[in-house]
Amino acid sequence: AVTGKPIRFVGLGEKMDAIETFEAERVAGRILGMGDIVALVEKAQETLELEQAERMAKRFAKGLFNMNDLRNQLDQMLKMGGMQGLMGMLPGMGKMQKAAEAAGFDDLMLRRQIALINSMTKKERANPDLMQASRKRRVAAGAGLDVAELNKLLKMHRQMADMMKKMGKGGAMKQALKQMMGKGGAMPDPSKMSPAEMEAMAKGMREGMGGMPGGMPGLPGMGGLKLPSGLSGLMKKK
């Protein structure tokens, strides 16, 4: 307003890749808690490789979900803007951002979880049931964290794996992935989607991913201010 020059870009973080084109309506939607599904789809298109998405979809449809899958989802969340960025883009989730931040559910927690998974052997990541006491101590020490935090991660993984099995058997995961990926099996072009199609895809993301944004399938949601079992303990500050 002072210089009379139009705003072309807006910075959403401290790094160079946290720059987006400025569109007044979409920015206003985020501020008002209405989300920005277009930005969410664009982020997914930029960060998710088609081959990886297809492999992931086939595994999830069969109810398969190990620590490698969990690590891929955590990495995907960070690439798509982190926990706060994703919540800001999903309609109705804006109000939850402060609650999640206060509970310690942030990007630092995601990176700590990734560090724990990276500290495991290939066999342990493929089969978390191998994680007995001595293995837990080694993995936690390798990540520079304590066993209690590893136990919380393992508990969260078990809940997610159980949910994936249920959704895979009932066909709910296949239906959710179909809604998200579109009829052609590829991520749709947001510029060519109608408001109704946007809403349908947003619904698929919320329902198919347990209430959380795309890139985190099966993670229990944060409906309301009440945290689900498993996440409440995981998100407590030390």
Residue showing tokens 């837990």: 136
pLDDT for the residue 187 = 53
Dihedral of CA atoms 156, 157, 160, 166 in degrees, nearest 10, equals: -130
pLDDT for the residue 128 = 95
Residue showing tokens 């109810």: 63
Q: What is the mean pLDDT of each run of 10 residues along the chain (238 residues)?
A: 73 71 66 63 68 77 89 86 73 65 77 97 96 97 97 93 77 58 53 60 52 40 35 41
Residue 11's beta-bridge partner residues? 19
Angle at 36 between CA 2 and CA 12, to 5 degrees: 50
Q: How far is 226 from 222, CA to CA, in rounded Å?
A: 7
Q: What is the set of domains in the chain, with CATH numbers?
A: 37-234 (1.10.260.30)
How many residues can be counted in the chain? 238
